[in-house]
Structure 1
């Protein structure tokens, strides 16, 4: 345990009240940003995407499953992967638990990947999840949103020093670094109006942290995230692998 300032309860309460003022400011700013997200212009999805599901091929509009809103988590599980990305798997743990609550607010939550549907469903069973998972094999759905990259686009990254995190995650998914980073994580949101789906929001990278509930909790633990720069995701494992490595 590192050295840390020790004080009285009175000193703690005074410092805590000062921090609370800033936390409330951040909350109000977050509310403002949420309003601005909802005010973004909607873009009609004109391409006729097809998705393989456990119940056959479906269109994007059919993925709403009778609701007016749809959230899609773009899960890194490429055709060459033997298993899903451990980081995306940690996110899916949070998504699965929240899907039922989102349904109560007219929102359908699904995951989308490029691996064949049978491989996705087998991995879902291993992980104990129940959310709908669709395959985009043969579709440009992920590419059009910026979550699928070509080798040419990745060349500057591949010709540099490969971070340890990418190497470990590639190994954990059963592919090489190129195969791993070809895929990208992301979240896209849609509204359905008069049978037409509209793209309403897209995010990736740290924009996905709201779906990584453990980070919000670690930020409130005494030692925080305990991550060195460049090693942020080295500690993450699939939930059935902790204690095995």
Structure 2
């Protein structure tokens, strides 16, 4: 474990730091290998179940429309030409909720900026149970520009793909769908949320698309035992920093 892995050094580092850092670097190498192995297993999954219905979602588009005019898209319409994978994030924003889930909003803050890149490979949609006008209003307030936002207010998508519990509680879920031979199959879901976590551990089922925690994991303070993202924060002045 004490083997030196590279010749790069940083100003002022001690021998004790380098020994500990190399020990950590070995662990990071193993983690990288494990991440690659898990991704390979995910890619090797056989097609899952065919979707039970070609769901119709309410879609307001890029600009508000006449509330008396219904605009709907089917799930099959969400696939881009030449791209056979579709990712759908279930956004916890139900009609009975005063505000959306802060954690989901944090995820989508980051995902919005990545959408122009993601569209080069796949299509990504965000589905919530609230009426589409309410979803779009929040998106405009939040400054989201690129997310494809849809409402499942008039279909059973949330219940079928575990974005909602039997009693109507909204759940965060990432589902991936595959188009093959003219049919649409479920490919993968962030099922870690269904597995009881170890004591003191979050489910982390959607951490792969949540850069907030990945960056905090690189710091000495880490994630923090009790801190969670919020929809808004108090402004800090220069003297309070």
The TM-score range, normalised by the shorter chain, is: 0.7 to 0.9
1:92 maps to which residue? Answer: 108
Equivalent residues of 1:73, 1:111 under 8 A apart: yes
Deviations 1:108-164 (A, max 9, x none): 11100110000011111111112110001121111111221133xxxxxxxxxxxxx
Equivalent residues of 1:60, 1:197 under 8 A apart: no
2:41 maps to which residue? Answer: 36
2:217 maps to which residue? Answer: 219
Equivalent residues of 2:54, 2:76 under 8 A apart: no
Please show how residues 1-245 of structure 1 align to structure 2 within 5 Å.
9-42=14-47, 43-55=49-61, 56-66=71-81, 67-105=83-121, 107-130=122-145, 131-151=147-167, 182-203=169-190, 204=193, 205-227=203-225, 231=226, 234-238=227-231, 241-243=232-234
Equivalent residues of 2:110, 2:211 under 8 A apart: yes
Q: How many aligned positions are there? A: 202
Q: Larger % of helix: which?
A: 1
Distance verdict in 2 for CA 1:128–1:69, change over 3 Å: same
C-alpha distance in 1 between matches for 2:74 and 2:24 = 48
Equivalent residues of 2:159, 2:166 under 8 A apart: no
| Cα RMSD for the two superposed structures | 1.9
TM-score (norm 2): 0.78
C-alpha distance in 1 between matches for 2:210 and 2:40 = 21
- 1:186 deviates by 0.6
Runs of 5+ in structure 1 lacking a partner?
Answer: 1-6, 152-178
- 1:214 deviates by 1.2
- 1:244 deviates by 5.9
C-alpha distance in 1 between matches for 2:124 and 2:94 = 20
Equivalent residues of 1:73, 1:185 under 8 A apart: yes
Runs of 5+ in structure 2 lacking a partner?
Answer: 1-11, 62-70, 194-202, 237-241
**Structure ranking higher on relative contact order (CA contacts 8 Å, 6+ apart):** 1
C-alpha distance in 1 between matches for 2:152 and 2:46 = 26
Q: Which runs of 4+ in 1 moved over 3 A?
A: none
Equivalent residues of 1:61, 1:195 under 8 A apart: no
C-alpha distance in 1 between matches for 2:206 and 2:218 = 18
Larger radius of gyration: 2
The worse-fitting range, judged by mean Cα deviation, of 114-123 and 52-61 is 52-61
TM-score (norm 1): 0.77
C-alpha distance in 1 between matches for 2:184 and 2:58 = 18
